[in-house]
A and B are shown apart, each in its own frame.
Chain A
Amino acid sequence: MFSPQTIIEILADNVRKTRNPFGLNKTGLNSWWKNSNVNQTGDTLLFTGLMYQLVPYIKATTKYLEKYEDTPKADYIRYGKRIPKPLVNLGLKIISSKEDKKYFNTLLCNIVKILRSSDVSFAYNPELDEYSGVLLYDMGDQESFVTHAEYVANKLQDAGIRKLITVDPHTTYAVKVLYPKYTGISFEVQTYFELARLKGGDSSSEVTLHDPCFYGRYLELADGPKDLLTGLGVSCDPINTSGAFTSCCGGPAESISPKLAEEVGKRRVAELQATGRPIVAMCPICLANLQKAGAEVEDLSSVLVQFVS
């Protein structure tokens, strides 16, 4: 386990300086939309919160951190003065995989195709798409979270945005629940799957859904993907640990303890694999952590895009 204090201060400092937790240049981080011919103006904004884009960096950082966990070198990270160079600007000097970046970008392109095929009119303006700050909130750095959330909420409000279409549970929770509570600024928020209107094919496949904690419990949205898939002919009988009683993928622990994240992830994978059906996730953190724990997992958008005409 690493010192939460050090990790929190690095993340908060990065968010303060660059508006994302890894200190990355946004132009390089957020490039998925370039070939999607997106309309940039309108008051309904596709708001990714940069989560899918950040996952390749999270994976690379975790891989780096796990080499040092519970070794004497973990103390380098505790005593800031001797932090190994690549961790000074988490992510900046870490070589994240090109394949990963391409993969996670494709998932966002899938979502655009799903929305278009469902006749949803929306804009995507990369300038307005920002990280929500939700990790700072989860880590208990309330002051840094609120400062960042106010920046993002004001920026969206000043640009005339009224409605946000979200793609992951953490960002959805942040903009739907936390922003009104802590910034006083509200938007109408819906996830892309709530807006999806796709037509079923003659599919008769079966999948097992991994409901993320934030859709299953905090936002009570787990029925959405299940009903959508069922309507398309994809059977997804819920397992015992789903919906409000879903089990965590372990992902949230990865910055503090990659070992713990893996241990919890493996337990969840065993529950999901017991059905023998292909596993589908709907959060980039869950997707990456369950894959890392040894499961073959697809993103919901990859399943839905097959029904795009």
Chain B
Amino acid sequence: MTKITPDFAEELKKYGDDTALICFNCGTCVAICPLVSESFPRRLIRYIQIGARDRILENADDLWKCLHCGLCTQTCPRAADPGEVILSLKRFTVANWRKSYNV
């Protein structure tokens, strides 16, 4: 079962622009992404929308497959900036790792 963190999108604002919520899940970014892996980056953006914070942390390594090439951002019909959302998730994850070293 996935724990839901309703204010996750709010928490993410610290790490970049909060464009994830305007994504309407069309999948254009998945079609154009050179990684051709399952629903990337759309799936991660959906996780933000539903507050699936733990899911993101559990699958965090996948974020670093992103080449930061910007093609998804270029083609997103909602200007949801998916490439930058992935970069924000990387920043969020790195900050979480660092916090855990200091516990």
Decide: B90 and A139 in contact? CB cutoff 8 A: yes
Contacts A4-B61, A245-B74, A250-B34 given; does A140 touch B94 at CB 8 Å? yes
In the bound complex, residues from chain B placing their C-beta under 8 Å from that of A138 are 68, 87
B93, CB-defined interface residue at 8 Å? yes
In the bound complex, residues from chain B placing their C-beta under 8 Å from that of A71 are none
Does more than half of chain B's interface fall in helix, strand or loop, or is it mixed? helix
Alpha-carbon distance A143/B73, docked complex (angstroms): 24
B46, CB-defined interface residue at 8 Å? no
Does more than half of chain A's interface fall in helix, strand or loop, or is it mixed? helix
Decide: B94 and A141 in contact? CB cutoff 8 A: yes
Decide: A142 and B34 in contact? CB cutoff 8 A: no
In the bound complex, residues from chain B placing their C-beta under 8 Å from that of A250 are 34, 67
Interface residues of A in 138-164 (CB under 8 A from B): 138-143
Give, as a whole number of angstroms, the nearest-CB distance from A173 to chain B.
Answer: 10
Give, as a whole number of angstroms, the nearest-CB distance from A270 to chain B.
Answer: 12
Alpha-carbon distance A245/B97, docked complex (angstroms): 35
Decide: A4 and B64 in contact? CB cutoff 8 A: yes
Decide: A142 and B65 in contact? CB cutoff 8 A: no
B12, CB-defined interface residue at 8 Å? no
In the bound complex, residues from chain A placing their C-beta under 8 Å from that of B95 are 142-143
Of B61, B71, B94, the residue contacting A248 (CB under 8 A) is B71
Decide: A142 and B69 in contact? CB cutoff 8 A: no
A213, CB-defined interface residue at 8 Å? yes
In the bound complex, residues from chain A placing their C-beta under 8 Å from that of B90 are 139-140
Give, as a whole number of angstroms, the nearest-CB distance from A168 to chain B.
Answer: 15
Q: Which of A87-95, A111-119, A253-261 lies at the interface with chain B?
A: A253-261
Decide: A252 and B74 in contact? CB cutoff 8 A: no
CB-defined A-B contacts under 8 Å, sample of 28: A1-B61, A4-B63, A8-B94, A139-B94, A140-B89, A140-B90, A140-B91, A140-B93, A140-B94, A141-B94, A142-B91, A143-B98, A213-B68, A213-B70, A217-B70, A217-B71, A218-B70, A244-B74, A245-B71, A248-B69, A251-B67, A253-B65, A253-B67, A257-B65, A260-B35, A260-B65, A264-B35, A267-B34
Given contacts A139-B64, A140-B89, A141-B91, 18 further A-B contacts (CB under 8 A): A1-B64, A4-B60, A4-B61, A138-B68, A139-B94, A140-B87, A142-B15, A143-B95, A213-B68, A217-B69, A218-B70, A244-B74, A247-B34, A247-B71, A248-B34, A252-B69, A264-B35, A264-B67
